[in-house]
């Protein structure tokens, strides 16, 4: 791992012509002292596994001139991703038609979104097929896209699931075939696998990257301890560590992203790609008066969501959402836009995945970009006061 430092004025900068004798006369030990300080800082940085980049602060966030989309580094890797991405869970190959899926991807792409996320398990592989067909039909430059997929559940056979070397390699090959792609940009290990040694997982992920099947790898729904173990194994055996974690993050799910992952972000460079910013639709406000027949919670496979909404906690959440709606009104935005912008206030969040099922919903959600500058520390404090669930050990990570 490389650690870069820019030379400072503390004796490390080369003297201009004519100044050399003057410097030696006034402070003969300045150079040796500066070198000693440099060695001390370097040793500390190496012990922390620090990712200090000389120009990272200039690239932390940039804005596309034409669309207004903002881009961030994926964790502390060099990959630039749109701060809003499009997820394909329960929509592509499921709730919506192929035509609507194409409309959604087109709206997203033309709005500056470059991150499109899927998984081998989504709609039994259909989501990857639809995603690939749209990319091919639209003739979008592959180099302008960041395509991510997740591995774990690939099929019914015992050898078609898990994170063992066999399934990581075969599963990713299957995903690439369905998407008609030569590679993905990030492959995620979708949940930890207690049946497979961590070294095997990290070695397999390193292999698919070295073979050109993926550019990076990440984790999904892993604990901070599991991510740290993967990083430690990678460092021990000179393998490739994960660059980010996919984690659920919204008004009512905060602890992991706000207390556990920031330390990993600052120490080893692991960022967050968050999902479900609207809590499976709960934050849209459509469940304020019960469960509408046309909603996801009314479907049989989502009985768990219905029970969650109708529970005592669910009713309390709806009451809090009514109060939060007043903040959204004050900012001139919708409640979903406030919720998405709130997620993006965290510097460790590289991108928030949207799960829109209609063009109008996606357009509204993309409007959250305009709300980000309004998410001041004061507004965040108002939100915290209403939610009453601010993690105790949370630090201030507002921009």
pLDDT of residue 1: 42
Separation CA 325–CA 317 (nearest Å) = 12
Three-state SS sequence of 67-129: CCCEEEECCCCCCEEECEEEECCCHHHHHCCHHHHHHHHHHHHHCCCCEEECCCCHHHHHHHH
pLDDT of residue 281: 85
Segments making up each domain of the chain, as ranges? 74-387
pLDDT of residue 314: 79
Determine the number of helices (DSSP H) and then strands (DSSP E) in the chain.
Answer: 14, 11
pLDDT of residue 5: 35
The token pair at 186 is: 């990030």
**Alpha carbon distance, N-terminus to C-terminus of the chain:** 28
Q: Is 122 a catalytic residue?
A: yes
pLDDT of residue 305: 63
pTM: 0.82
DSSP conformation class of 253: B
Q: How far is CA 96 from CA 123, 243, 263, 355, in A?
A: 11, 32, 39, 12
pLDDT of residue 44: 44
Contact (CB, 8 A) for 215 and 183 = yes
pLDDT of residue 22: 40
Contact (CB, 8 A) for 342 and 375 = yes
Count of C-beta atoms within a 10 Å radius of residue 398 = 14
Give me the long-range contacts of 329-335 (CB less than 8 A, separation at least 24).
331/371, 331/374, 331/379, 333/367, 333/368, 333/370, 333/371, 333/374, 334/364, 334/367, 335/283, 335/284, 335/285
pLDDT of residue 90: 79
pLDDT of residue 290: 62
Catalytic pick among 71, 109, 122, 216: 122
The token pair at 260 is: 């556990």
Count of C-beta atoms within a 10 Å radius of residue 107 = 17
Separation CA 177–CA 180 (nearest Å) = 5
DSSP conformation class of 32: H
Helix segments in 211-245, DSSP class H = 224-236
- Superfamily of segment(s) 74-387: NADP-dependent oxidoreductase domain (3.20.20.100)
Separation CA 325–CA 395 (nearest Å) = 25
pLDDT of residue 331: 97
Count Cα neighbours of 128 within 13 Å in the Cβ-side half-sphere: 25
pLDDT digits (tens, 9 = 90+) for 129-179: 999 999 999 999 999 999 999 999 999 999 999 999 999 999 999 999 999
Question: Which residues of the chain, if any, have pLDDT below 50?
Answer: 1-26, 28, 41-45, 47-48, 50-57, 393-399
Separation CA 144–CA 32 (nearest Å) = 48
Separation CA 38–CA 54 (nearest Å) = 15
């Amino acid at each position: 791992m490389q650690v870069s430092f820019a030379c400072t004025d503390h004796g490390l900068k080369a003297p201009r012509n004519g100044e050399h004798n003057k410097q030696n006369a006034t402070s003969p030990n300045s150079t040796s002292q500066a070198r000693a300080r440099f060695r001390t800082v370097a040793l500390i940085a190496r012990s922390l596994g620090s990712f200090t980049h000389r120009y990272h602060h200039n690239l932390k966030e940039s804005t596309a001139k034409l669309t207004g989309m903002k881009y961030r580094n994926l964790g502390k890797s060099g990959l630039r991703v749109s701060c809003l991405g499009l997820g394909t869970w329960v929509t592509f190959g499921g709730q919506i038609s192929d035509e609507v899926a194409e409309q959604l991807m087109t709206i997203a792409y033309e709005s500056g979104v470059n991150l499109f996320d899927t998984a081998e398990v989504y709609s039994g592989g259909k989501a990857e097929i639809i995603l690939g067909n749209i990319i091919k039909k639209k003739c979008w430059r592959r180099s302008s896209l960041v395509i991510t997929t997740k591995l774990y559940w690939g099929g019914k056979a015992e050898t078609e699931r898990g994170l063992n070397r066999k399934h990581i390699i075969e599963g990713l090959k299957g995903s690439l075939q369905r998407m008609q792609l030569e590679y993905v940009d990030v492959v995620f290990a979708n949940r930890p696998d207690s049946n497979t040694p961590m070294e095997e997982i990290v070695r397999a992920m390193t292999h698919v990257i070295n073979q050109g099947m993926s550019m990076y790898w990440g984790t999904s729904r892993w604990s901070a301890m599991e991510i740290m173990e993967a990083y430690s194994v990678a460092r021990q055996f000179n393998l490739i560590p994960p660059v980010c974690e996919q984690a659920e993050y919204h008004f009512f799910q905060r602890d992991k992203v706000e207390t556990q992952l920031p330390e990993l972000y600052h120490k080893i460079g692991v960022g967050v790609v968050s999902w479900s910013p609207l809590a499976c639709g709960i934050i849209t406000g459509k469940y304020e008066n019960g469960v509408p027949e046309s909603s996801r919670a009314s479907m049989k496979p989502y009985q768990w969501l219905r029970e969650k909404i109708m529970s005592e906690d669910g009713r309390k959440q709806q009451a809090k959402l009514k109060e939060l709606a007043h903040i959204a009104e004050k900012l001139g935005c919708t409640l979903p836009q406030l919720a998405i912008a709130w997620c993006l206030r965290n510097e460790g969040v590289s991108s928030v995945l949207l799960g829109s099922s209609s063009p109008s919903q996606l357009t509204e959600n993309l409007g959250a970009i305009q709300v980000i500058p309004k998410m001041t520390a004061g507004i965040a404090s108002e939100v915290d006061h209403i939610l009453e669930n601010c993690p105790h050990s949370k630090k201030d990570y507002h921009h």
